[in-house]
């Protein structure tokens, strides 16, 4: 048994828990995970029109996620905002 399994953490790199690390980013309709707590919605303008972005916070590791629901693009979805 070793205690040295955690690599040094860079200050600006969010440390994701396993569940967060498993989220597929920037892919439309990729699922989140069970410990994400839903926050506020906001609207943002895109080329094609307004999209809804929902804020989530992981209750496990504290990572803040945005989920963009943009029906015009397949390549948006989950992105890490910070912790």
Residue ranges that bind Zn ion, judged by CB under 5 A: 17, 20, 58, 60-61, 63
Comparing CA positions, the residue from 41, 53, 81 lying closest to residue 65 is 81
Q: How far is the CB of 29 from Zn ion (least distance, A)?
A: 20
Comparing CA positions, the residue from 33, 40, 39 lying closest to residue 61 is 33
Tokens of 38: 């839903």
Q: How many other CB atoms sit within 10 Å of the CB of residue 6?
A: 7
Closest CB to Zn ion among residues 63, 70: 63
Q: How far is the CB of 21 from Zn ion (least distance, A)?
A: 8
Q: How far is the CB of 65 from Zn ion (least distance, A)?
A: 9
Closest CB to Zn ion among residues 15, 48: 15
């Amino acid at each position: 048994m070793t205690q040295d399994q955690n690599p040094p953490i860079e200050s600006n790199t969010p440390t994701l828990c396993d569940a967060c690390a498993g989220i597929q980013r920037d892919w439309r309709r990729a699922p989140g995970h069970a410990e994400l707590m839903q926050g506020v919605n906001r609207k943002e303008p895109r080329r094609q029109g307004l999209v809804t972005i929902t804020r989530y916070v992981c209750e496990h590791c504290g990572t803040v996620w945005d989920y963009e629901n943009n029906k015009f693009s397949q390549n948006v979805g989950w992105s890490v905002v910070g912790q």
